[in-house]
Amino acid sequence: MIEKTLGIVLKQIKYGETSIIAHLYTRRWGRIGIMVPGARTSSKNRKAYLFQPLTILELEVYYKANRDLQNIKEVKNHSPFMHLTGDPVKSSVALFLAEILNKALREEEPNEELFDFLNSHIQFLDLTDQGIANFHLYFLLRLSRHLGFNPGIPPAQSDLWFDLAHGTFTTSPPLHDSFLTPELTTLLIRFLSVQASDLASIVIDRNKRIELLEGILRYYYLHLEGLGEIKSHTVLHALFD
């Protein structure tokens, strides 16, 4: 049976001489893999360009439960990007977020709320021209809510420490080395409280941005078993210098 859904591209892998295997997070089925024969041919029908990281696609799929790779009937771009692929800064952020999502979204169960969050925020990144250097920090913290380990927002209080291992705020440093200092914790709370449209209001220097990102990634490593090493964030360190 042919079924329709929207899907967000997480990763593509070359397969054979001309084909690709693409991994997507779909609104209807959660994560799926699809085979795209002839996607890398030189003909006008090649489709590999559609499967760039975070592209939002409309799919017609010959869907069969419990099959590792689904076959597609038709695919087209649902929300063509205005800036995300042509802007080197935004495309670097997109590559980083795609790597996170590809490693974090392993479940094949659908989650429409999560899909809608991803869909709206990817389109926001494409269109916004403010606060781009802060977007990945904001996105990771919002994503953690959907993955089940969000920190929450503590009562207003100064000199708090964030315990990365337990996901809690404390008034004294934890008795281990997985924590954020009060200065970084204050920044973390600001990112937890701000709306995407106000990200430019958070002024943060390069070193603190790097420290906070490393802390958030450490938080992910501690709470997502088997996440694996994230590599593309080092590009962001240089990009926002």
* pLDDT single digits (tens) 51-91: 999 999 999 999 998 899 999 999 999 999 999 989 999 99
> Closest Cα to residue 107, out of 230, 229, 224?
224
The DSSP element (H or E) to which 214 belongs, if any, is: helix 206-223
User: Coil, strand or helix: which one is 4?
Assistant: strand
* pLDDT single digits (tens) 88-129: 999 999 999 999 999 999 877 899 999 999 999 999 999 999
> Closest Cα to residue 57, out of 122, 143, 13?
122
C-alpha distances (whole Å) from 188 to each of 131, 163, 167 are: 16, 12, 12
- Give bridge partners of residue 25 from the DSSP assignment: 8, 31
Q: How many Cβ atoms are within 10 Å of 155's Cβ, its own excluded? A: 6
* Average pLDDT, integer, range 31-43: 83
Alpha-carbon distance of 99 to 93, in angstroms, equals 10
C-alpha distances (whole Å) from 190 to each of 69, 183, 230 are: 42, 11, 24
What confidence score (pLDDT) does residue 217 get?
A: 96
Reported residue count of the chain is: 241
**Domains of the chain, with CATH numbers?**
2-77 (2.40.50.140), 128-239 (no CATH)
pLDDT at residue 15 above 60?
A: yes
Place of tokens 């420490």: 161
* Average pLDDT, integer, range 25-44: 85
pLDDT band at 144 (very low <50, low <70, confident <90, very high): very high
DSSP per position, 97-151: HHHHHHHH----S--HHHHHHHHHHHHHHHH--SSHHHHHHHHHHHHHHHHT---
Residue 16, C-beta contacts closer than 8 angstroms, at least 6 positions apart: none
* pLDDT single digits (tens) 148-203: 999 888 877 778 999 999 999 999 999 999 999 999 999 999 999 999 999 999 99
* Average pLDDT, integer, range 123-150: 96
Alpha-carbon distance of 236 to 133, in angstroms, equals 9
Please tell me the pTM assigned to this model. 0.93
User: Coil, strand or helix: which one is 61?
Assistant: strand
| Cα atoms found within 13 Å of the Cα of residue 134, Cβ hemisphere only | 23
